[in-house]
Amino acid sequence: MANREKNKKTLLELAKLPENSCCADCGAADPDWASYTLGIFVCLNCSGTHRNLSTISRIKSIRLDFWDDELVQFMKSNGNRAAKNFYEKYVPVFYYQPQPDDCEVLREQWIRAKYERKEFTEEKTERPYTAGVYEGMLWKKGKDNGQFLERKFVLSVHDFTLKYYKEDESKGPKATISVKGLNATFQPEKIGHAHGLQITYSVDDHTRNLFVYHKNGWEIVNWFNAIRAIRHVYLKTAFPTLIPWITRSYLKEGYMEKTGPLQREPFKKRWFILDSLDRKLLYFKTQLDAIELGVVFIGSENHGYSVRECVPKGTRGNKWKCGVIVETPDRQFVFMCEQERDQREWVEALKTVISKPMMPSFKKVSLGAFWDVKPI
């Protein structure tokens, strides 16, 4: 019993060392689990994937399970830093390394890429997602009927485009999308599939969404990193300061109610997306709409923008009562949230954008600009 407590204490001390204090795979703080075959400390979420790699990784709790002297010594001799130096030695600069809040497929494929496929232990000149051209079939949601159908997609570095085709490829691509404004983000809950990917781009100054998935997790993550690879090549040449935003998650998404410019129009429920890089508050009729209904530009505090919670009086048609007011130099926008928590989160997210100075390119935008593609 004394030896068991001694080993437990040693493990807990090892886990507190700076190099081991975060999960080896996603960076979550204070990992409580460890792989005693790889010599790494991991969080609960990542430990689940390791359990599925039983021929490579064996998992124990550092608090609840029994550890013999030999295994403890192995953990002392290895640790997260040593594993990172070996398994992550040649990770491409564009390759997405998951964070604690990322979806399961990103964590799982990152872990499998490191320990099962050992993709980054040797310097390779070419990987599937760095070949310059990446093509294959993805299940794409139809614009109108909502049905997912298989479509061929081709991503090419030669003309910096993403193309997709309908059944008859001889008629040419259904769409040719420049990678200049291309973004991709995993949205499994929204799309209703564990491998759901949202691809966003601009057409005639309006935002368009494609919702796709692949049945194979490795394949959809390869698509994601192929998009990041070609975006990295493009930005490195054209906009090097934007390289940190090769792809990006949106700061906040969710339903709010909105009214028209006179604030006397009935409120209507809309799905909002806050894009902090482009400083846009986009809104759609539903969360799976292909095309935006409108967008509000969110400038900086120095240019007369502000946001606050409110309880508006005299409004009509709104079912929700937790108000958010966005002030611009030209207009006041009123939104309603269902719960106070949503209200606080939207205000906090909007304040984050407003508090940041605008990049030079944004100062050319008409401050307070608001566009409605069609009636709300």
pLDDT for 60 beyond 60: yes
Mean pLDDT of 14-42: 96
- Rounded to 10 degrees, what is the CA torsion of 221, 109, 31, 88? -90
CB burial readout 270-294, b (16+ within 10 A) else e: bbbbbbbebbbbbbbeebbbeebbb
Mean pLDDT of 127-147: 89
Percent of the chain at pLDDT above 70?
Answer: 93
Structure tokens that stand for 168 in this block: 């008859």
How high is the pLDDT of residue 45?
96
φ, ψ (nearest 5 deg) of residue 288: -110, 25
pLDDT for 372 beyond 60: no
How high is the pLDDT of residue 123?
86
How high is the pLDDT of residue 63?
92
How high is the pLDDT of residue 318?
77
- Among the residue ranges 25-39, 176-190, 207-221, 257-271, the one predicted with the least confidence is 257-271
327-347 residue pLDDT tens: 999 889 999 999 999 999 999
Could you tell me which residues are beta bridge partners of residue 175? 164
How high is the pLDDT of residue 206?
87
Cα(177)–Cα(154) distance, integer angstroms: 10
Could you tell me which residues are beta bridge partners of residue 186? 197
Mean pLDDT of 255-274: 88
Cβ neighbours of residue 253 closer than 8 Å, sequence gap 6 or more: 190, 271, 272, 273, 274, 287
Of residues 107, 113, 115, the one with CA closest to residue 127: 113
Strands laid side by side in the 322-327 sheet: 306-310, 322-327, 332-337, 252-258, 268-275, 280-284, 294-297, 370-372
Mean pLDDT of 52-63: 94
Reported confidence tier of residue 85, pLDDT bands at 50, 70, 90:
very high
Reported confidence tier of residue 313, pLDDT bands at 50, 70, 90:
confident
Q: 212-216 contacts: CB < 8 A, separation 24 or more?
A: 212/138, 212/139, 212/140, 212/141, 212/153, 213/138, 213/139, 213/148, 214/136, 214/137, 214/138, 214/139, 215/139
> Collapsing DSSP states into helix, strand and coil, what is residue 1?
coil
Amino acid of residue 250: Y
Cβ neighbours of residue 306 closer than 8 Å, sequence gap 6 or more: 326, 327, 354
How high is the pLDDT of residue 362?
45
pTM for this structure? 0.89
